[in-house]
């Protein structure tokens, strides 16, 4: 059945057959499928749970399933493995990385820490296990401001690896942060000109932005927050039209939640579709099926690194309850 589905030219029929095959394998493997909002709609539709980085970490920490299929990027699946060392954590495409994690190699981060020995190191969850293992506290875009505000006022703070998120946290919390110079290719790609044009075309529209965006775009936003906060805002705002400055995968849930409202994505500078995360989009329905079939690729971690990376994640989960 699956072979036929994969070679079917009708996309929705193929997706339907694959979804049925995935559901059967999922039961057989006692697996749960977690998906980030940036996954392609067909993957979101077969997930047991869809969420932002914080919600997915919480789900990964609480699941009783024996196998976690993580439809997201490598650092997310790695976080699930750090929290669940005895479970099998599958990532449909092992190449699904992240420019933020890549921008912060563990050896360079160790030097950064050594240059600032008195600082508390807060790392955005978009980093490798080796960087988490050297951090005092992990945060996500959902809880970063709140967590930084809870840190002792007399201690200086390092923030890695996203400088755009760091600057926003700085403004929101009133705390001075020493920033690592990383950024996300997707959130740095949005065209300000296209945004201004969309605002002119839709004068009543609310602009929703993720804090990974650059300052000049955040200055044009009406609401700034993590993906789940943007979704919640779209549901609860009285506005009927939204321009969304984040990866367009989130529009699938926005349109499902409030179908009577209109949503517009912002293209990249050349009108390109580079506003879609090339790493997130490496996962496909077929790869989800294949990883459950093969029980691979699975995330493997060195135990000493895992143990050291666990402490700052647990601290985050405790402080952001
Ligand atoms: P959140 O899901 O925490 O909003 O983060 C967005 C992101 O870029 C994930 O890589
Ligand atoms: Fe990384 Fe940006 Fe893709 Fe998120 S959207 S996974 S931060 S490259």
Return the pLDDT at 272: 77
User: Tens of pLDDT along 54-79?
Assistant: 999 999 999 999 999 999 999 999 99
Residue 52 CA to ligand 1 centre (angstroms): 6
Confidence check: pLDDT of 108 > 70: yes
Where are the chain's structural domains?
A: 2-97+280-300, 100-184, 190-271
Q: Indicate which residue's Cα is closest to atom 2 of ligand 2.
A: 184
Closest-CA residue, ligand 1 atom 3, reads 53
Nearest ligand by distance to the CA of 187 = 2
How do residues 122-172 score in pLDDT, each as one tens digit?
999 999 999 999 999 999 999 999 999 999 999 999 999 999 999 999 999
Residue 5 has pLDDT above 60, yes or no: no
Q: Where residue 270 falls among pLDDT bands split at 50, 70, 90?
A: confident
How much distance in Å is there from the Cα of 10 to the middle of ligand 1? 32
Query: pLDDT by residue (tens digit) across 189-225?
Result: 999 999 999 999 999 999 999 999 999 999 999 999 9
Right CATH for 2-97+280-300 from 3.40.50.10800, 3.40.640.10, 3.40.50.300, 3.10.20.30:
3.40.50.10800
CA of 94 relative to ligand 2 center, distance in Å: 15
10 has pLDDT over 70 = no
pLDDT averaged over every residue in the chain? 95
Structure tokens at 227: 């993906």
Q: How far lies 193's CA from each of 71, 190, 263, in Å?
A: 33, 9, 18
- Cα–ligand 2 centroid distance for 100 (angstroms): 7
Looking from the CA of residue 56, the nearest atom of ligand 1 is 2
* Mean pLDDT calculated for residue range 9-18: 80
**What is the structure's pLDDT at 144?**
98
Class of domain 100-184: alpha beta
The second-level CATH assignment, the architecture, of 190-271 is 3-Layer(aba) Sandwich (3.40)
- Does residue 289 register a pLDDT over 70? yes
Can you read off the two tokens belonging to residue 214?
């650059």
Radius of gyration of the chain (CA): 20
With a 6 Å cutoff on the Cβ, whether 247 touches ligand 2 is yes
Ligand 1, pocket-test mutation among 96, 126, 245, most atoms within 8 A of CB:
126
Q: How far does the centroid of ligand 2 lie from the alpha carbon of residue 90, in Å?
A: 19
- Start-to-end CA span in the chain (Å): 44
User: DSSP string of 49-66?
Assistant: EEE-HHHHHHHHHH---S
Same fold, 2-97+280-300 and 100-184: yes
């Amino acid at each position: 059945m699956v072979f036929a589905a994969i070679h079917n030219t009708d996309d929705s029929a193929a997706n339907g057959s694959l979804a049925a095959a995935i559901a059967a394998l999922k039961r057989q493997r006692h697996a749960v499928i977690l998906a980030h909002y940036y996954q392609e709609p067909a993957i979101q539709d077969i997930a047991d749970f869809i969420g932002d980085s914080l919600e997915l970490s919480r789900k990964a920490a609480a699941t009783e399933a024996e196998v976690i299929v993580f439809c997201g990027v490598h650092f997310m699946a790695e976080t699930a493995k750090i929290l669940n060392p005895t479970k099998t954590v599958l990532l449909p495409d092992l190449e699904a990385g992240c420019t933020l994690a890549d921008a912060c190699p563990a050896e360079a981060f160790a030097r950064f820490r050594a240059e600032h020995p008195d600082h508390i190191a807060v790392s955005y969850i978009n980093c490798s296990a080796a960087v988490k293992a050297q951090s005092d506290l992990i945060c996500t875009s959902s809880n970063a401001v709140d967590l930084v505000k809870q840190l002792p006022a007399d201690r200086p703070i390092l923030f890695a690896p996203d400088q755009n998120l760091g600057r926003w946290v700085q403004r929101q919390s009133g705390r001075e942060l020493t920033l690592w110079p990383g950024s996300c290719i997707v959130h740095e790609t949005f065209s300000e000109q296209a945004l201004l044009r969309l605002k002119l075309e839709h004068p009543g529209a609310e602009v929703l932005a993720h804090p990974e965006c650059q300052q000049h775009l955040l200055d044009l936003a009406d609401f700034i927050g993590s993906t789940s906060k943007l979704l919640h805002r779209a549901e609860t705002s009285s506005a009927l039209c939204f321009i969304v400055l984040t990866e367009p995968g989130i529009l699938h849930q926005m349109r499902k939640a409030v179908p009577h409202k209109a949503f517009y994505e912002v293209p990249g500078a050349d009108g390109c579709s580079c506003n879609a995360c090339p790493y997130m989009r490496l996962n496909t329905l077929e790869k989800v099926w294949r990883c459950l079939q093969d029980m691979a690729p699975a995330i493997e971690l060195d135990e000493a690194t895992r143990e050291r990376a666990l402490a700052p994640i647990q601290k985050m989960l405790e402080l952001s309850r």
